[in-house]
Structure 1
Amino acid sequence: MRHFYILFVLFYCASSTSVLAQLDSIQKLDEVIIADTKLTEYAEGFQVRSLSDSILSRDNASLTDVLRYNSSIYFKENGYGMVSSPSFRGTNSSQTAVIWNGISINSNLNGQTDFNLIAPNSSDQITIRSGGGSVQYGSGAIGGSIHLNNEIAFRKNQKNELEISYGSYETSKAIFKSVTSSDNIYSSVNVSYINSLNDYKYLGEGIKNENGAFQKLNIGYNFGARFNNHVFTWNSNYFYGDRNFSSSITAPSKNNYKDVTTRNLLSWTLKSSQLISKFKAAHLFERYRYFPDKDKLLFSEGKSNTYIADYSLDYFASKRLKFNAILNYTLIDAKGSNIGSNQRNTLSAVLLMQHKVSSILSYGLNVRKEFLNDFENPLLISLDGKLQLRPWYAIKVNASKNYRVPTFNDLFWEAGGNIGLAPETSLQAELGQVFEFSNLKFNLNGFFIDSKDLISWRPNDSGFWQPINIAETQNYGLEVTSEYLKSFNQHHLSVLMNYSYTKATNKEKNNQLLYVPFHKATGLLNYQFKKFSSYYQVLYTGKVFTTTDNIGVVDPYWVCNLGAEYQLNTAHTPITIGGKINNIFNIYYENVAYRPMPDRNFQLFINFKF
């Protein structure tokens, strides 16, 4: 009964505010609506980078491919297409939040997101936000966050796009997108399907990836309607994945894993001259089934339902000062073969402030407090600021306290769960410098993260593995991003580069953390002439340690890809044909010890727009 009462209170607050707002002067809403306004409106002192459409179209098989070649995030992947977990600034996979239209979609069961289960084409915008974001986005946003946003654009538009591709290892893929919109109605649908035998060679080993086949289906739908100063939006996404888990060099595998996720979000927004009122209701569902032997029906299972009610009120005190108050209630109901049946209730109160003191100085203050769940939740505070010293030079700074609550697996796993766990906490600071010239953009960021009470699974006195709050870590490093653009006549050239140095140590042993490279670099060279374009991708990953004593090592590697596209002249339908060669130098490399990645392979595609 308490759950329904809290939902009713939130809805009542939204309705009351809406009535008051209508008494004020009415302004027409912006043409493009993005659900996650915190990302752009309250992050002046953070490094926030959105990936271009061309980048998303070239690595559209998975979110792992997109981010591996276009960011400083390192991915630990158990063979191509298998479980993929990130290390953002040296943090672990549960400390990177994935935010879908303003809502965290990290698994309630293990606390992380498998980036091979996210279809990048289902989002209109993918943005990387570096640094702690727990105040705004809740548990898990410690190293950084990845934002998947759908845009609702109220303008007359009708477009359809179909892409079909085929490549090595009998890999076939189809993507369809359709948008229909007017001044007051918006509707879009996107569908993607990929199927691959994924039986690439293990170079130098004389064997293939015999159990690596996978297929993925993603369906997304977005709707928006505008009536005077009211906007209603609906975002929906369905995903189904069926994967065999690849064998390693040392051991065969017959494992199979099936995933189903659904996400639904309904929003009601009302805007006046000084207020923006928004009420959101969401339902998230996830389910996995693990088959130790794909030829048998025996499996273990886990699933969860998440119900969210969220009320947000923006108040513009002046042109330079604004506030955002958020009240969020989340109910999680989880069941599984190894965790039983359990619930979690969380009520969160958040206050954000952004103050533009002058054209030179702006700063922000964010505060978060949570209630109702089973932990002593710390008061979280975040400060950030931007100093625009010259038109071409700015300094950004932020500091924050962040946290991650234990997952259902941590707490309730049979013969190992520990209900006495405390949330992980971290303190961090970041200093960034931004240089922007006519053709060159350059960012230099230094960061520091100090974490305690990290959850580590260790054998107890009975011999069972059990999670305990024991680990303390310290991460620091440097990140560099740059972009150079040059055009002459009908030639267009762009060069994008990322480099990161990360030192992440366990304070107990003073050793580098597992699967955190000291060095990572990416490069992208684009060239376009009239209707022809080509690109060259470079990825360098330094060595990573695979054992806590820093003896086991995965060697460093370079991987290079080459692609080209050409737009054909047609009377009515633009047609683009192209291809890509991955790992053009056919090198042997691993992300995880004894699990090779693909040899040289190709992909051909044809794209229709109508």
Structure 2
Amino acid sequence: MHKKSLLSAAILLALPHALSAQEMIARLDPILVTPTRTAQTVDQTLASVTVIEREEIERLQPKEFADLLRARAGIGLSQNGPFGKTTSLFMRGTNSSHTLLLIDGVRMGSATLGSASWQFLPPAEIERVEIVRGPRTSLYGSDAIGGVVQIFTRDGDGPARVRAHMGGGSFNTREYGLGVSGSHDRTRYSLSGSHFSTDGIDVQKGVGDSGRDGFHNSSLSGRLSHQVSEALELFGSLHHARGETDYDFGGPARDWIDFVHHASRLGVRGQLHERWFSELSIGHSRDENETFQNAVPSSQIDTVRYLVAWQNDILLGNHLLTAGLDYQDDQVKSATDYDETRRDNWGVYAQLQLDLGRHALTGSLRQDDNESFGRETTGQLAWGYRIMEAWQVRASGGTAFKAPTFNDLYWPGGGNPDLAPESSETFELGLRHAAGGFHADLAVFQSDIDDLIEWAPVPGSFLWQPQNVEKARIRGVELETGIDHDGWSASLSMTWLDHENRRTGNELRRRPNQIARLDLDRQWQDWSLGTTLIAEGRRYNDDSNSQRIAGHELMHLRAAYRVSPAWTVRATLNNVFDRDYVTARQGVIDYEQPGRAFYLTLNYQQ
């Protein structure tokens, strides 16, 4: 940690909290908090990171969250169709269940499937996205083998401001939203709601009804904080999304899923001492799905999660010690009669960030005690060296684990309560450069994952049961670079992966070996024009590598005109050349993706 990081830490612990400490630092320098659970400038973190700010979200005008992440450094996606269909995110080639999703610090995901519902996240409610690539289990516990994605909802500051948007386009797509944010005296607030609806496309041709498979999502977000005193702040956040998404099951009538996606948090934070900052919070999340087949209810599986977190940041001279305690209680409510329907997990962790002049050293250690599988200890060590002001080299190594899901442990007649968690070791070497409007980050890494869980037939019976039988090795290189100069903005990310199942020698399913993305924008006066170019290599749909899915290239165009200081019109043309492409299939039937599509949006920002 060099002097700028120490300044951030000092602000975190010493300044009056009319704003939260981390938000105060954000006013001084762009920062992120996910890699270490403390405020750091982007150029000082010892992790591979990507930050997507609200300005970029508005410029790109994504119709779903996957559009924001597609082909970013280290990220591969597969989708069972667009607009609210099952989406898998492969961070650095790891499984989709190996990436942790946080919304305003609240842990999200299904305890039965083990993965997050990426498809239900509304871009209109997002202020910022922080992507951390590489293991973070030593700070966050289970799931963060591949990395962490944290979403921050809209926040408020200054005089009250109203914002609104409405738009529409191809596939009978409609969207609108309204929000207000600001601050008064010692209170900061933000409240917004949005709705997105589309008829979509026929996701699987020849399966089920022949109609389009639509998607409807209504969401509400809010944040509130109040400065009780110079040293004490109360805060809360809420995100709630509800809707339905159609899919093809095979019957002649309509098939769909009703969903609820919820995250909420309340807490108190403040200074216990001029060098000791503490935060205590309680959180709640829900991932609920009720499935209808042939217009008849067929299943309902809900995950309810209760969370308690206590974190302490203590300045020790030029160094920063972070120590905390996490509690998590998962409950499953389902028509399926699981052998167990709840479990809890206690986690205790500590992290020390050392400032050693040109050198920076960060070490973390965590132990989790889970009532289902016992104790797991993980750790991480990262070193950085500032060659000169604009150049930094870094190296890190860490262990991580993924807890077995409720389906793995307790599925009636098939669960295996003797399963061990999946575990990993990862090593990384990186080089970062940032000067003026230019930045570049290069990273090479290797992850070895043991005890991967696979469902296999039980000898002598018709039953299937999960076992710890698989091993995987993933090697990769990532490059992320960008420049802002004289009205031009360009960013490039590229990823090369070598991934294999160590038992069979086959590639891991549904993740491409090569990914590239280029965003190029030009701003002058009241106009802006931009394009996004995406290229993904081939992938295999199955573990045996017998179903090859071809790679694809896509081009998107966008334009915006600022009618007045408050009003902006934006237009996007996606998949300009109307490419036919897929990222997943079921058997021999593809999950279709949309062809050429046009959207128009009117934005108001006071």
TM-score (norm 2): 0.90
Q: Tell me the distance in 1 between the aligned counterparts of 2:109 and 2:528.
A: 37
What pairs with 1:301-320 in structure 2 (closer than 5 Å)?
301-318=300-317, 320=318
* AA partner of residue 110 (structure 2): S
* AA partner of residue 438 (structure 1): G
Q: Tell me the distance in 1 between the aligned counterparts of 2:133 and 2:342.
A: 31
1:595 corresponds in structure 2 to 591
Contact 2:160 2:183 in 1 (8 A): yes
1:440 corresponds in structure 2 to 438
Q: Tell me the distance in 2 between the aligned counterparts of 1:178 and 1:115.
A: 26
CA deviation after TM superposition for structure 1 residue 254, in Å: 3.9
What pairs with 1:96-495 in structure 2 (closer than 5 Å)?
96-150=99-153, 155-199=157-201, 210-227=211-228, 228-246=230-248, 254-271=254-271, 272-293=273-294, 295-296=295-296, 298-318=297-317, 320-340=318-338, 342-358=341-357, 360-461=358-459, 462-487=461-486, 492-495=487-490
Query: 1:565/1:26 Cα in 2 relative to 1: closer, same or farther (>3 Å)?
Result: closer
Which runs of 5 or more residues in structure 2 are unaligned? 1-12, 24-32
1:586 corresponds in structure 2 to 578
Match of 2:66 among 57, 64, 67: 64
RMSD: 2.3
Q: Tell me the distance in 2 between the aligned counterparts of 1:71 and 1:302.
A: 33
CA deviation after TM superposition for structure 1 residue 288, in Å: 0.9
2:28 corresponds in structure 1 to none
Q: Tell me the distance in 2 between the aligned counterparts of 1:477 and 1:30.
A: 44
Cα deviation 1:274-299 (Å, max 9, x = unaligned): 00011111122222111122x22x32
1:564 pairs with 2:559: yes
Q: Tell me the distance in 2 between the aligned counterparts of 1:184 and 1:95.
A: 40
Query: 1:266/1:221 Cα in 2 relative to 1: closer, same or farther (>3 Å)?
Result: same
CA deviation after TM superposition for structure 1 residue 51, in Å: 0.8
* AA partner of residue 68 (structure 1): R
Contact 1:339 1:409 in 2 (8 A): no
CA deviation after TM superposition for structure 1 residue 69, in Å: 5.0
Q: Tell me the distance in 2 between the aligned counterparts of 1:27 and 1:436.
A: 28
Match of 2:16 among 18, 28, 44: 28
Contact 1:220 1:238 in 2 (8 A): yes
Query: 1:209/1:167 Cα in 2 relative to 1: closer, same or farther (>3 Å)?
Result: farther
Contact 1:72 1:521 in 2 (8 A): no
Match of 1:554 among 549, 553, 562: 549
CA deviation after TM superposition for structure 1 residue 328, in Å: 1.4
1:607 corresponds in structure 2 to 603
Q: Tell me the distance in 1 between the aligned counterparts of 2:378 and 2:346.
A: 14
Q: Tell me the distance in 2 between the aligned counterparts of 1:482 and 1:354.
A: 27
1:7 corresponds in structure 2 to none
DSSP-derived class of the 2:530 partner: strand
CA deviation after TM superposition for structure 1 residue 479, in Å: 0.4
CA deviation after TM superposition for structure 1 residue 401, in Å: 0.5
Q: Tell me the distance in 1 between the aligned counterparts of 2:321 and 2:503.
A: 42
Contact 1:225 1:233 in 2 (8 A): yes
DSSP-derived class of the 1:198 partner: strand
Match of 1:542 among 537, 540, 543: 537
CA deviation after TM superposition for structure 1 residue 62, in Å: 2.0
Which runs of 5 or more residues in structure 1 are unaligned? 1-24
Q: Tell me the distance in 1 between the aligned counterparts of 2:57 and 2:349.
A: 33
* AA partner of residue 591 (structure 1): T
CA deviation after TM superposition for structure 1 residue 398, in Å: 1.5
How many percent of aligned residue pairs carry the same amino acid?
20
DSSP-derived class of the 1:590 partner: coil
Q: Tell me the distance in 2 between the aligned counterparts of 1:202 and 1:331.
A: 38
Contact 2:18 2:227 in 1 (8 A): no
CA deviation after TM superposition for structure 1 residue 41, in Å: 3.7
Contact 1:236 1:263 in 2 (8 A): yes
Contact 2:202 2:212 in 1 (8 A): no
Query: 1:241/1:34 Cα in 2 relative to 1: closer, same or farther (>3 Å)?
Result: farther
Q: Tell me the distance in 2 between the aligned counterparts of 1:201 and 1:317.
A: 57
Q: Tell me the distance in 1 between the aligned counterparts of 2:144 and 2:76.
A: 16
Higher alpha-carbon deviation: 194-203 or 519-528: 194-203
DSSP-derived class of the 2:372 partner: coil
Query: 1:173/1:411 Cα in 2 relative to 1: closer, same or farther (>3 Å)?
Result: same
Contact 2:221 2:239 in 1 (8 A): yes
What pairs with 1:36-51 in structure 2 (closer than 5 Å)?
38-41=36-39, 44-51=45-52
Contact 1:455 1:468 in 2 (8 A): yes
1:524 corresponds in structure 2 to 519
* AA partner of residue 266 (structure 1): L
Higher alpha-carbon deviation: 55-64 or 585-594: 55-64
Cα deviation 1:196-221 (Å, max 9, x = unaligned): 11136999x9x997241110111011
Q: Tell me the distance in 2 between the aligned counterparts of 1:224 and 1:446.
A: 41
Contact 1:166 1:605 in 2 (8 A): yes
* AA partner of residue 561 (structure 2): Y
> What count of residue pairs does the alignment treat as equivalent?
571
Q: Tell me the distance in 2 between the aligned counterparts of 1:564 and 1:94.
A: 36
Higher alpha-carbon deviation: 543-552 or 52-61: 52-61
Cα deviation 1:443-499 (Å, max 9, x = unaligned): 110010001011111222222222111110000110000102220xxxx11111110
2:56 corresponds in structure 1 to 55
Q: Tell me the distance in 2 between the aligned counterparts of 1:334 and 1:416.
A: 17
DSSP-derived class of the 1:338 partner: coil
2:3 corresponds in structure 1 to none
CA deviation after TM superposition for structure 1 residue 71, in Å: 4.2
Q: Tell me the distance in 2 between the aligned counterparts of 1:208 and 1:300.
A: 20
* AA partner of residue 609 (structure 1): Q
Cα deviation 1:303-349 (Å, max 9, x = unaligned): 1221112111111111x211111011222221212253511111111
Contact 1:560 1:584 in 2 (8 A): yes
* AA partner of residue 241 (structure 2): F
DSSP-derived class of the 2:467 partner: strand
* AA partner of residue 191 (structure 2): V
2:29 corresponds in structure 1 to none
Match of 1:501 among 481, 496, 503: 496
Q: Tell me the distance in 2 between the aligned counterparts of 1:502 and 1:209.
A: 38
Cα deviation 1:520-555 (Å, max 9, x = unaligned): 111101011111001101111100012223221110
Q: Tell me the distance in 2 between the aligned counterparts of 1:551 and 1:385.
A: 42
Query: 1:230/1:150 Cα in 2 relative to 1: closer, same or farther (>3 Å)?
Result: farther
Contact 1:202 1:598 in 2 (8 A): no
* AA partner of residue 529 (structure 2): S
DSSP-derived class of the 2:213 partner: coil
Contact 1:211 1:254 in 2 (8 A): no
Contact 1:434 1:442 in 2 (8 A): yes
CA deviation after TM superposition for structure 1 residue 56, in Å: 1.4
2:4 corresponds in structure 1 to none
Contact 1:368 1:380 in 2 (8 A): yes
Q: Tell me the distance in 1 between the aligned counterparts of 2:416 and 2:253.
A: 30
Contact 1:258 1:289 in 2 (8 A): yes
CA deviation after TM superposition for structure 1 residue 609, in Å: 2.0
CA deviation after TM superposition for structure 1 residue 72, in Å: 3.6
1:511 corresponds in structure 2 to 506
CA deviation after TM superposition for structure 1 residue 52, in Å: 2.6
